[in-house]
Amino acid sequence: MKFNMENIVVDGDPKLRMPSVDIKVPVSDTDLELIQAMVDFVKRSQTDSFDDNDDAFTSAVGMSAPQFGINKRIFVVTEIRDNKQVFHVVVNPKIVKRSDKFIKLSTGENCLSVPNGKSLKLNRSRDIRWNGYLVDPEDGSYEQKKMSPAKGYDSIVFQHEYDHLEGLLYIDREPGVIHGI
């Protein structure tokens, strides 16, 4: 399985507005293959050879399964840690706590599933806590998370991807409104 830009489902496709379903943990071979293809996509999106478009680069900080037309509760986010690119595969997440304080991305949010969509500075909870799993894309081993924190920028990315699993796009949110599910 290999994903490319043309595999990305864009606004207008009903799959982006459907809630996704939990997967089995430990993950099946099929789901592990999906996870690996998603990680590979995000990895390639970070290189020049993938796409010369800045939005694609920014948006692919995270990708969710519904963006590939698969309504499973899986998303991948990436970050640079100690000068190394690391990937986190979040499975069956549930946000269980949200701070009263809000934060927004100074550059605004974009999404590969909304080509040419304008950036929106959405209010997102500054701190969240979530339950679910982190899955190692190498071998499918997993770590169960309970009340796991995400703060600041990480929290924004988490909530953007989480919205995809709930069937929401960032353009469904309104700037200036306080959001919480």
Q: Which stretch binds Zn ion (CB under 5 A): 88-96, 111-119, 126-134, 138-146?
A: 111-119
The Cα–Cα gap between 122 and 45 comes to: 24
Q: Mask 14-33, x = binds Zn ion (CB under 5 A)?
A: --------------------
Residue tagged active-site, from 79, 143, 161, 166: 161
Residue 130 forms beta bridges with which residues?
Answer: 95, 148
Q: Are strands 124-125 and 84-98 parallel, antiparallel or unpaired?
A: unpaired
Give 96-102 contacts, CB < 8 A, sequence gap 24+: 96/129, 96/130, 96/131, 96/147, 97/128, 97/129, 97/147, 98/125, 98/127, 98/128, 98/180, 99/125, 99/126, 99/127, 99/128, 101/125, 101/126, 101/127, 102/126, 102/178
DSSP assignments along 97-114, one per residue: EE-S-EE--TT-B--TTS
Instruction: Note whether 135 binds Zn ion by CB under 5 A.
Output: no
Instruction: Note whether 90 binds Zn ion by CB under 5 A.
Output: no
Instruction: Note whether 60 binds Zn ion by CB under 5 A.
Output: no
Instruction: Note whether 91 binds Zn ion by CB under 5 A.
Output: no
Q: Which stretch binds Zn ion (CB under 5 A): 31-39, 76-84, 89-97, 106-114?
A: 106-114
Instruction: Note whether 111 binds Zn ion by CB under 5 A.
Output: yes
Least CB distance to Zn ion at residue 76 (A):
12
Q: Which stretch binds Zn ion (CB under 5 A): 31-39, 109-117, 125-133, 147-155?
A: 109-117
Instruction: Note whether 38 binds Zn ion by CB under 5 A.
Output: no
| 161 annotated active-site | yes
Nearer to Zn ion, 111 or 122 (CB): 111
Catalytic positions: 161
Under the rule (CB under 5 A), what is the footprint of Zn ion? Answer: 111
